[in-house]
Structure 1
């Protein structure tokens, strides 16, 4: 959907701008191409600069609770320095590369509830105006899709997805926010884990998978979170038995919890009140190399419609956005609460 807005900075009769993307869906680290169409107003004008901003609706935790705002996570100058004649039209083609950590907005065509946009800004006669805002849809990379499909086939269900302002401690994160995909456990883990939050931090060479597990509390201890990290390669997608791989990750997470639980039970029995200072540190324990180790060939993965993750997305579970039109309208209403404050937000341990 293309949104047309007159530029208030130059008054009635000023130029208007449309940004048209060549493809409806992009991928992290991939190209984003299209053209900016500028239409002249009631007088000749100098178009000094055309800028594209990639923006995201992001959540932030603060003293007064949770707030939402806009973060610009990439910016590119795509044109300018030309004279736009009265009532004339001018097309500026562009091509830019999305950051590798660009959040995923959909899975197999089903929206996840994450809102991204491409905002076009014109600089005219010394004034700037954000003249056009278009929805940006981002599909997962093959390795991201394989991991999510495996989680679905292993019984994990999609709950929600959001973007959190801040940095994951100890990671190579580049953007000022990170994406969390919240999944509910299958029956065999439901007594141990409330949910997991999966974050993908992709790079040209591979990807770090950060999984935070929200643990259930026991008789002598409260619940606690643990963080585990796994490295995968873009090149191993076809050679990896992902159900086996991901199941190994889940068992590692549960085993780590069992060790903490036994220790906490001992502390609780002596009246020392549970886990003390473990918190997020419980699962750091080094970097797992599951993604680069021995692979098992021959495992078949069924089609996307069988995954519980996909089923949850298709049902619109807890995402609040279940259609492209609704998502586009939300993009058009994005606020500016966080703009210029990309350093806000704490580190995620």
Structure 2
């Protein structure tokens, strides 16, 4: 009977189970993700080589004129080394680690989730997945509010493969805005990419100028209609109002549109 139970456990029937419980499932990049991993033994004792936790997201990559989704592991956290879990034993293991500063925001349909798994030899690894809401860092919120004050409306947010701009990971998260105010006649769109660090936020901004006449069409054909702006905010900028930051951004935009 014992051998039969071991056989069943090896294919996942009557095997150990894992349940991850997050202390909070809404965080900003750079904040600490914490909680508990609850282990419940199965019908037989099992050796668990390790308990691993992955923070995962997806991004789009263009291949042969088709867009495909690819998985990206943002972080791997090893919770514990080898343990033996007795039949029906219940064990609770706390965890805490910092969410990477480059974690994309879960705006639109962008997923970020924590995958917990048990590495058990000669058996199907039990696992658990928990979605995480990643909200903007306060410095990001300042920029997003400022841009909207200038009359730009957020149109699309997605993660795109980009080896040139991507630093730690092979993608960047792009925030695409459409002008609705005074810039409507001069710009097609405004794209923003954030590079968050512990004490600062670098902002990369691309301005797509609206083509005007023959020379405007030439500029668009040769991608000369795109202008780029880069600036950085620090923790002390949190004391500035969104209107103050909007004024500074507007000066940079106007300089590029001259």
> 1:38 corresponds to which residue?
39
> 1:91 corresponds to which residue?
92
Q: Give the Cα separation in 1 of the matches to 2:179 and 2:126.
A: 43
1:186 aligns with 2:187: no
Call closer, same or farther: CA 1:9–1:177 in 2, change over 3 Å: farther
The RMSD of aligned alpha carbons is 2.1
Q: Give the Cα separation in 2 of the matches to 1:147 and 1:130.
A: 42
Q: CA deviation at 1:147?
A: 1.4
Which of the residues 102, 107, 128 maps onto 1:132? 128
The unaligned stretches of length 5 or more in structure 1 are: 1-6, 106-110, 259-349
Q: Which has the higher contact order (CA 8 A, sep 6+)?
A: 1
Which of the residues 151, 168, 175 maps onto 1:174? 168
Secondary structure of the 2:91 match is strand
Question: Any conservation in 1 of the 2:9–2:123 contact (CA below 8 Å)?
Answer: no
Count the aligned residue pairs: 244
> 2:22 corresponds to which residue?
21
1:152 aligns with 2:153: no
- The structure carrying a bigger strand percent of its residues is 2
Superposed, which structure 2 residues align to 1:190-205 within 5 Å? Answer: 190-205=184-199
Q: Give the Cα separation in 2 of the matches to 1:67 and 1:78.
A: 32
Superposed, which structure 2 residues align to 1:228-239 within 5 Å? Answer: 228-238=229-239
Call closer, same or farther: CA 1:168–1:237 in 2, change over 3 Å: farther
- Please give the TM-score of this superposition, normalised by the length of structure 1: 0.65
Q: CA deviation at 1:89?
A: 1.6
Secondary structure of the 2:213 match is coil
Q: Give the Cα separation in 2 of the matches to 1:9 and 1:140.
A: 43
Question: Any conservation in 1 of the 2:49–2:83 contact (CA below 8 Å)?
Answer: yes
Superposed, which structure 2 residues align to 1:338-349 within 5 Å? Answer: none
Question: Any conservation in 1 of the 2:105–2:134 contact (CA below 8 Å)?
Answer: yes
The unaligned stretches of length 5 or more in structure 2 are: 1-7
Q: Give the Cα separation in 2 of the matches to 1:144 and 1:215.
A: 24
Call closer, same or farther: CA 1:234–1:77 in 2, change over 3 Å: same
